[in-house]
Amino acid sequence: MNGRFSIAIHIMTLLTKAEGELLSSELIASSINANAALVRKELSNLRNNGLIISKEGAAGGYALGKDAAQIRLSDIYQAVKRQSILGQAKNLPNPACPVGRQINQHLDTLYKEVEDSLTEKLVTKTLAEFTGQFD
Amino acid sequence: MNGRFSIAIHIMTLLTKAEGELLSSELIASSINANAALVRKELSNLRNNGLIISKEGAAGGYALGKDAAQIRLSDIYQAVKRQSILGQAKNLPNPACPVGRQINQHLDTLYKEVEDSLTEKLVTKTLAEFTGQFD
DNA sequence: TTGATCTGTAATTTTATTTATTACAAATGA
DNA sequence: TCATTTGTAATAAATAAAATTACAGATCAA
């Protein structure tokens, strides 16, 4: 997990505050202070996950796909995550070692459990609650 | 968070199985299939956190610092983690934007909460329980 | 007390990942 | 028709992670 979750939450917060008015990727990128093409890539991903809608062409832009009260932070996390939260060693351990041979299987199980508890936490929080904290 | 947690758990599992016998960084590295100097660096870190002991010189090596039943996976996680689990965008958001101005503060709060729930999960698991899963 | 072995640690290089940049086709609206 | 904006790919630059190399210092055994 990298800065993508932060960026996604930032995007979703902006769209919530826009209340249905379309925002351009350029405007969003300038709030985040990140590259517009990169932001569009994340916007595409969020759209593919049903969290936002987009409209092409002049006067196009982005808006929430459903009410902020119906979006849970776990939905955003699921859209953005790519690999196990605790990271994965990329060396395959030594299969001649009893520990090396079995470690990945047990780590996988552990990581799944941990990730489940993280998701449970994020399920309890809606985007509306999060954005409601802003002045 | 990267592969360091995986490596640390792997190390601690090997030391548990060694039952007090000193293991060399070379042997540990070969089980993990990683570089020995890198492994020593993590071993130093684990020692600085009181989880293992080391002995220098010929016939030196590493062993658990306390009983595996007294070590919680959260202890290992705390020793290894460096930054927020969900990552942090490194661009500072635009302070001229109401959302950009406040987002990091609210993300920080959220990340702390999420990390707390993750830690709570890891507190419930001892190293002894984890290593007990191995054949 | 000498030599082999192993830890501790720093400096450097290599590799991988992330982010930014550039470019342009396609859609849309004025 | 032209300006604007999304969608997406290809490439480059920057950053982070891991490996490599090197060597001082500790320890043990012959």
Nearest-neighbour CA in chain B from A102: distance (Å): 7
Residue B91 — φ and ψ, nearest 5°? Answer: -80, 130
Facing B14 at nearest CB: one of A7, A92, A99: A99
pLDDT digits (tens, 9 = 90+) for A67-106: 999 999 999 999 998 765 555 655 689 999 999 999 999 9
Question: Is the distance between the Cβ of A92 and the closest atom of strand D smaller than 7 Å?
Answer: no
Give mean pLDDT, residues A119-123: 95
CA A135, C1' D10: Å apart?
Answer: 41
With CA atoms as reference, the chain A residue closest to B16 would be A99
| Domain ranges, residue A105 | 4-131
Question: Is the distance between the Cβ of B50 and the closest atom of strand D smaller than 7 Å?
Answer: no
> CB A94 to CB B4 under 8 A?
no
| Residue B32 predicted with pLDDT over 60 | yes
The CATH number given to whatever domain includes residue B13 is 1.10.10.10
Q: Which residue shows structure tokens 């969290």? A: A51
Degrees (nearest 5) of the Cα angle B29, B35, B36?
60
Q: What's the pLDDT band for A1 if we cut at 50, 70, 90? A: very low
Number of domains within chain B: 1
Lowest mean per-residue pLDDT among A107-116, B37-46, B60-69, B82-91: B82-91
The set of strand D positions with any atom below 7 Å of a protein CB reads 3-10, 15-22, 25-29
Buried b (16+ CB within 10 A) or exposed e, A52-72: bebeeeeeebbbbbeebeebb
